[in-house]
Amino acid sequence: MTIAEQDPLLAWRSEFPILEHTTYLVSHSLGAMPRAAEKRLKEYTDTWASRGVRAWAEGWWRMPVTVGDRVGRIKDPAGNIWWIQTHVEDADPAEMGKRAGDPKFAAAMREVQESLDRETNRRAGWN
């Protein structure tokens, strides 16, 4: 059995340019940048440069819908909080409105907002 057969994740190695010349052992950072991230960031900065504030009216306000619809919070050993979001699907505005009316969605959003507020207040010494 080859190494690639033993570890199917090796097929993804080429998607992380730094791994072409570096053994990346840092486990407390964002990790190695995926090749696709550069393209997506370039699209964002090109829109920002060419459209400025008008970009908000042209779709930036929908970024949470198109960028990700699953989100989670992780606290690292130093106490920093990291929000991680993944993209699952694109939903049209009507569907997003329907979901926003779902009590489970509202409860989940409330927990996200309240937990961030609690942590921010704790760090500021307001609790």
- What tens digit of pLDDT does each residue of 88-107 get? 677 788 888 888 888 888 88
Residue 53 falls inside a structural domain: no
**How far is the C-alpha of 59 from the C-alpha of 56, rounded, in Å?**
6
Number of domains, the chain:
1
Residue 114 falls inside a structural domain: yes
Residue 88 falls inside a structural domain: yes
Domain span at 93 = 64-127
Give residue 110's pLDDT: 81
Return the number of other C-beta atoms located less than 10 Å from residue 28's C-beta.
Answer: 9
Calculate what percentage of the chain has a pLDDT beyond 70: 81
Residue 109 falls inside a structural domain: yes
Residue 96 falls inside a structural domain: yes
Low pLDDT (below 70) residues in the chain: 27-30, 60-72, 85-88, 127
Residue 33 falls inside a structural domain: no
Where are any strands of DSSP class E within the chain?
70-75, 81-86
DSSP 69-92: SEEEEEE-TTS-EEEEEE------
